[in-house]
Amino acid sequence: MTTVSTPAGWPVTEEAARAVQDGLRTRVVLDEPGPPPGTGHVTGVDVAYDDERDVVAAAAVVLDAATLDVVAESTAVGRVSFPYVPGLLAFREIPTVLAALGALSCPPGLVVCDGYGLAHPRRFGLASHLGVVTGLPTIGVAKNPFTFTHDDPGTPRGSTSPLLAGDEEVGRALRTRDAVKPVFVSVGHRVSLDNACAHTLALTPAYRLPETTRRADALCRRALREAALL
């Protein structure tokens, strides 16, 4: 496990953080399909917090995309770098997530984030931000619709409905299990929305949430419990 501190120059105010987003958003690449599902590596990243102790732990878990077997994993801990503000989640998660990704012993391939990419007030959520900063293909799979609207997808697994910001499709509500609440998929960087949904389905053979985020969630919680950062 590695230890990280908040990067020099990291935004302190909400206004500064929004300015950073506006400066980076133009670098998001949307015209690549991304890797085909079931090939290469797929990596889940997630973060857990202990605001009492001011500690944050991140985990990255690399899976073989064909078998969903764990290929590699890593964790990182640090201090909380930003408060939770809707629309600015990336500034809270990215430093530790970058450290965890950097500690991996193999290439991550496609990165699956817990949250949104383009489905964001300024079209630059966590998944897009992480993609631009690393250059890696990324997608966002969120558990809640945030401020966006959607119709309920059909009952069968695989059914979708557009996730809308007004009349703009910023993502998709995707049913990953029959009759179970859908997840909300959006493009991060260098992946198409169709492909992002296909990957999400490939990663949900048994549970609502992708195996990537399930593994990363369990690992970062464990890392937080065991963190001795005092």
- The contact set with DNA (CB under 7 A) reads 46-50, 84, 86-90, 114-116, 120, 125-127, 140, 142-147, 217, 221, 224
Q: Is 22 annotated as a binding residue?
A: no
Q: Which residue, 73 or 217, has its beta carbon nearer to DNA?
A: 217
Encode 107-143: b = buried (16+ Cβ within 10 Å), e = exposed. Answer: ebbbbbbbbbbbbbeebbbbbbbbbbbbebbbbbbbe
Rounded Cα distance between 163 and 174, Å, is: 9
Q: Which residue, 94 or 110, has its beta carbon nearer to DNA?
A: 94
| Selection from 71, 215, 204, 45 nearest residue 127 by Cα | 45
CB of 63 to DNA, least distance (A): 19
CB of 12 to DNA, least distance (A): 17
Starting from the edge strand earliest in sequence, which strands make up the sheet with 110-113, in order? Answer: 2-4, 70-79, 55-64, 41-50, 110-113, 138-142, 183-189, 168-174, 160-165
CA 205 to chain centroid: 19
CB of 113 to DNA, least distance (A): 8
Instruction: Provide the β-strand partners of residue 174.
Output: 160, 183
CB of 116 to DNA, least distance (A): 4
Q: Which residue, 40 or 221, has its beta carbon nearer to DNA?
A: 221
Q: Which residue, 27 or 143, has its beta carbon nearer to DNA?
A: 143
Q: Is 64 annotated as a binding residue?
A: no
Q: Which residue, 64 or 150, has its beta carbon nearer to DNA?
A: 150
The alpha helices in the chain, defined as continuous H runs, are 14-24, 90-102, 126-134, 193-202, 211-226
CB of 98 to DNA, least distance (A): 16
**Cβ-based burial of 24 (10 A; exposed 0-12, middle 13-18, buried ≥19):** middle
Q: Which residues are annotated binding-site positions?
A: 46, 114
Q: Which residues are annotated binding-site positions for Mg(2+)?
A: 46, 114
